[in-house]
């Protein structure tokens, strides 16, 4: 009898500690097609995850957050927001996202004077290092300061070390609004998969085919979207700059006192 009582107390305390576990699959609306790598989390809190390549997810939520908002978002789809308690009580865990339509901006072609420019942090110094945590939805980026219109050509990441056999991540491009308020401008995700042998000292991602044009400042980030297992990925870094990061999907952006080496080659108007 004593053993049974102790076991009950342990299980009860764990339930209070860990709260509710929700799980399910994210699909396209009106379709049985699952959506891979969806950002799922409590808005403004570092509690979240990313769905796997089959759209499946699992997330633990403590009772403290039952009155907060749970958000499902993915590039190319309309976001879905719901109160946590309502989702737990009324939903089987499956979610359907509606495809997002994008307005086509009118392009006026006229002669312009263009110059090439590199924005961001370009250091190759390996004595200062910033390692990113292997956690789904963990994101770290650099603000690109620019006063004019930029045509994005190429992203470069200078790497200190990678011990994973293969690294898989997503590059995000955000336009800036208010302080630490960013909006993803991509209509299609940018996934990068590389072996350790392919990385060497840097990663280069060609953006020319995406025809990305940004007005003013923008943020370029590196995001983990799957569990890579044991290992580490470390950037070259600078003490004279800062980075922006968040612990998981839908979390709040914070500033880091060290700038990771991410830069973008752009064409800008003179």
The 10s digit of each residue's pLDDT in 193-203 is 999 999 989 99
The reported pLDDT for the residue numbered 137 is: 94
Show me where the domains of the chain are located: 2-97, 114-269
Residues 123-133: pLDDT tens digits? Answer: 999 999 899 87
Question: Degrees (nearest 5) of the Cα angle 181, 170, 118?
Answer: 70
Cα–Cα distance measured from residue 183 to residue 174, given in angstroms and rounded to the nearest whole number: 5
* pLDDT at residue 13 is higher than 90: no
* pLDDT at residue 16 is higher than 80: no
Cα–Cα distance measured from residue 55 to residue 266, given in angstroms and rounded to the nearest whole number: 34
**CATH code at 114-269:** 2.60.120
Least confident window among 65-74, 83-92, 155-164, 221-230: 83-92
The reported pLDDT for the residue numbered 8 is: 30
Cα–Cα distance measured from residue 122 to residue 202, given in angstroms and rounded to the nearest whole number: 11
The reported pLDDT for the residue numbered 105 is: 53
Banded model confidence at residue 103, pLDDT cuts 50, 70, 90: low
Residues 240-256: pLDDT tens digits? Answer: 999 999 999 999 999 98
pTM for this prediction: 0.87
Query: 88: which DSSP letter?
Result: H
Cα–Cα distance measured from residue 240 to residue 258, given in angstroms and rounded to the nearest whole number: 7
Residues 57-85: pLDDT tens digits? Answer: 999 999 999 999 999 999 999 999 999 99
Multiple choice CATH, 2-97, 1.10.10.10, 3.40.50.300, 2.60.40.1120, 3.60.15.10? 2.60.40.1120
């Amino acid at each position: 009898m004593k053993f049974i009582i102790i076991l009950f107390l342990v299980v009860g305390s764990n339930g209070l500690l860990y709260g509710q576990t929700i799980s399910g699959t994210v699909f396209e609306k009106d379709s049985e097609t699952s959506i891979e790598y969806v950002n799922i989390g409590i808005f403004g809190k570092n509690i979240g995850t990313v769905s796997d390549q089959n759209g499946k997810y699992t997330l633990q939520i403590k009772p403290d957050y039952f009155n907060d908002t749970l958000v499902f978002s993915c590039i190319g789809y309309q976001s879905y927001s719901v109160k946590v308690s309502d989702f737990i009580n009324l939903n089987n865990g499956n979610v359907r996202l509606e495809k997002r339509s994008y307005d086509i901006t009118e392009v006026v072609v006229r002669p312009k004077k263009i110059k090439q420019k590199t924005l961001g942090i370009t250091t190759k110094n390996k004595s200062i290092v910033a390692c990113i945590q292997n956690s789904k939805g963990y994101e770290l980026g650099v603000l690109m300061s620019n006063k004019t219109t930029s045509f994005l050509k190429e992203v470069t990441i200078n790497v200190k070390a990678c011990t994973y056999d293969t690294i898989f991540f997503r590059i995000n491009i955000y336009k800036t609004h208010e302080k630490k308020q960013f909006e993803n401008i991509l209509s299609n995700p940018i996934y990068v998969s590389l072996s350790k042998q392919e990385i060497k000292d840097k990663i280069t991602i060609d953006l020319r085919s995406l025809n990305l044009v940004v007005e003013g400042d923008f943020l370029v980030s590196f995001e983990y979207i799957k569990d890579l297992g044991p290992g580490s990925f470390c950037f070259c870094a600078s003490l004279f700059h800062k980075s922006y990061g968040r612990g998981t999907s839908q979390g709040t952006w914070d500033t880091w006192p060290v700038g990771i080496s991410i830069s973008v080659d752009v064409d800008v108007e003179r």
